[in-house]
Amino acid sequence: MEKIKNIILVILSFITIGSAQVTPNSTITTSPFYAGEPFMAINPTNNKNIIIGYMTLGPTSPFKITIRTQVSFDGGLTWGNPHYKPHAYSTWGSADVSMKFRNNGTVYLSYVDYRQNPDSGGVYITNSSDGGITWSIPTRIWNANTEDPTKVPLDRPWLTVDNSNTTSQGMFYITTKPAPWISPPGNRPYLKSSKDSGQTWSAYRYIDTLNHLVGPTITQPMAALCVAADGALCINYPSYLNTQSVYAKIIFAKSYNKGGTFQYYDLIVNPPGVTSSNKYKLGADMVANPLNAQQLAYVAIGEATANDPDVFVSTSSNGGLNWSTILKVNDDNSGKAQDMAWINYSKDNKLIVGWRDRRNGSGTGIGQSSDIYCALSMDNGVTFQPNVRLSNITVPYNAVLDSSGNDFLCCELLNDTVYATWGDIRNPVNKINIYFTKTAIANGTGLKPILINPENQVSFFPNPSNGKIFFNSTEIKNALITIYNLAGEKVFSKTIEEDFMDASNLKNGTYLIKVEKGNEVLYNSKIIISK
460-529 and 33-82+98-440 share a CATH fold: no
How many Cβ atoms sit within 10 Å of the Cβ of residue 148? 15
Annotate 418-437 with b (16+ C-beta within 10 A) or e (fewer).
bbbbbbbbbeeeebbbbbbb
Q: In whole angstroms, what is the distance from residue 490 CA to residue 519 CA? A: 19
Q: In whole angstroms, what is the distance from residue 521 CA to residue 4 CA? A: 37
Q: In whole angstroms, what is the distance from residue 454 CA to residue 88 CA? A: 24
Local confidence band at 63 (pLDDT 50, 70, 90 cut-offs): low
Local confidence band at 256 (pLDDT 50, 70, 90 cut-offs): very high
pLDDT(475) > 90: no
The alpha carbon torsion through 220, 153, 402, 35 (nearest 10 deg) reads 150
* Rg value, the chain, Cα: 23
Q: In this structure, are residues 76 and 421 in contact, taking their beta carbons and an 8 Å threshold?
A: no
Question: Measuring CA to CA, which residue among 301, 323, 303 is closest to residue 312?
Answer: 301
pLDDT of residue 477: 76
Average pLDDT on 263-274 reads 95
Residues in the chain: 531
Average pLDDT on 220-228 reads 97
Mean pLDDT lowest among 242-246, 458-462, 498-502: 458-462
Average pLDDT on 377-401 reads 92
Q: Which CATH class is domain 33-82+98-440?
A: mainly beta
pLDDT per residue over 480-530, tens digit each?
A: 888 988 777 899 999 987 777 888 899 998 888 888 877 666 666 778 888
Domain 460-529 adopts which CATH fold? Immunoglobulin-like (2.60.40)
Question: 3-class DSSP state for residue 441?
Answer: coil
User: What is the DSSP code (8-state) at residue 253?
Assistant: E
- Ranges of each domain in the chain: 33-82+98-440, 460-529
pLDDT of residue 16: 34
pLDDT per residue over 152-193, tens digit each?
A: 999 999 999 999 999 999 999 999 999 999 999 999 999 999
